[in-house]
Amino acid sequence: MALAYLLLGSNVGNRRRYLRAAAGAVKGWAKTTMLEASSVWETRPEGFLRQRAFFNQAVAIETRLEPAALLIWAKKTELELGRRKRRRWGPREIDMDILLYGRRRVRRSWLVIPHPRLHRRAFALKPLAELCPRMTHPVLGERIAVLAERLPSDAVRRLDD
């Protein structure tokens, strides 16, 4: 069993409903148990800026799926929930990224774990720090909470549930 963390994001349509649907789908994945979910955070978009703010949420799971299989389940779920192909970093109904998979490091052209830009993204680190503040980043060797505190907070805000 591996402890893994995913990031869910949406900025199209009913963003909360997409996050709930994605979390619900994760609960039905093979060989996987969803443990907990962070608060929902509203975040400014990065990359393509002329779009609606995102809602993001981190989820903790235990899984027997290998990282590649976990990615397949995530991409399949995105399609099932209605994600449409658009421009890179553009609007999306739902986005699911693997942030961490235990202490493992994966480097493939199509999958990198830990997420390669995790340490620079408040929209991922802030919700992740709610779930595992004391966990150490497998590459950087620093606690998730410390990395999150270093990033500007003006682009993210925790929403009341």
Catalytic, 97? Answer yes
- In single-letter form, the type of residue at position 43 comes to T
Catalytic residue among 95, 150, 158, 160: 95
Instruction: Report the distance separating Cα 151 and Cα 44, nearest Å.
Output: 14
Instruction: Identify the burial level of 124 via C-beta atoms within 10 angstroms of its C-beta, where 0-12 means exposed, 13-18 middle and 19 or more buried.
Output: buried
Catalytic residue among 16, 20, 84, 97: 97
Catalytic, 154? Answer no
Catalytic, 134? Answer no
Catalytic residue among 15, 64, 83, 121: 83
116 preceded by a cis bond (ω within 30 of 0): no
Catalytic residue among 92, 107, 134, 143: 92
Alpha helices (H) in the chain, listed in sequence order: 15-27, 67-80, 122-131, 144-150
- Taking residue 46's Cβ as centre, other Cβ atoms within 10 Å add up to 14
Catalytic, 95? Answer yes
- Give catalytic residue positions: 83, 92, 95, 97
